[in-house]
Structure 1
Amino acid sequence: MSWFILVLSGAFEAVWATALGKSEGFSKTLPTIVFFLALIISMAGLAVAMRGLPVGTAYAVWVGIGAVLTIAFAMVTGSESVSALKIALLVGIVGCVIGLKVLH
């Protein structure tokens, strides 16, 4: 269950990171609200997941999932360029996350 919560909270990290960018320094109301809600959910999930997982592993997986999803969303929406190298590097991050799960 800790891994499921961790993956979900990593996805919410991508939500809050994206909303933070769209809030334009907290000057836009809806993205600011989404940022704070997703931040609370993401951090709470990380805290719960850390009850059953080592801190270093949990944090690395959480950051990895959040980073990959944030960049993937930006690529899909056109706000970040797509390249074979970027995709290969993202696949590498996913591979590392899977490796941490397998080793745990």
Structure 2
Amino acid sequence: MSWIYLFLAGIFEMGWAVGLKLSEGFTRPWPTFLTVLSMLLSMGLLGLALRSLPLGTAYAIWTGIGAVGIAIVGMIWFGDSASVLRVACVGLIVVGIAGLKWVG
């Protein structure tokens, strides 16, 4: 169950990162509310995951899910660069996340 909590925590981390963009500096009420809600859910789920997962592994995977997810969201929805080198670097993060899961 801890791995599910951790995965969901990473998804909500992506949510608050997108929310930061959409809230336009916390000037838009609904995106701001959803950003704060995503932050709370992300941290809460991370806390639940840390009950049984190693701190370093869980934190690295949590940030990795967020980083990879937001990089992809940025490329698809926000027009961020999708160069071959950038996609390859995102792939390296995925390999690192998988490696931590397998050994952790």
TM range (shorter): over 0.9
Work out the percentage of aligned pairs sharing the same amino acid.
44
For residues 25-82 of structure 1, the C-alpha deviation after alignment (integer angstroms, 9 at most, x for no partner) is 1101111011011111100000000001011111100000001101100101143111
Is residue 88 of structure 2 the alignment partner of residue 88 of structure 1?
A: yes
Q: Which amino acid aligns with 2:65?
A: I
- Residue 29 (structure 2) aligns with: 29
Other structure's SS at 2:27 match: coil
Is 1:75 matched up with 2:84? Answer: no
User: TM-score normalised to the size of structure 2?
Assistant: 0.96
Where structure 1 has 5 or more consecutive residues not aligned to the other structure, the ranges are none
Q: CA deviation at 1:4?
A: 1.2
TM-score, normalization: structure 1? 0.96
3-state SS, counterpart of residue 57 of structure 1: helix
Partner amino acid, structure 1, of 2:15 = V
Show the counterpart of 2:53.
Answer: 53
The runs of at least 4 aligned residues of structure 1 exceeding 3 Å deviation read none
Letter in 2 for 1:83: S
Where 2:80 maps in the other structure, the secondary structure is: coil
Cα distance in 1 for partners of 2:88, 2:52 equals: 31
Q: Report what 2:100 is aligned to.
A: 100
Q: How many residues were matched structurally?
A: 104
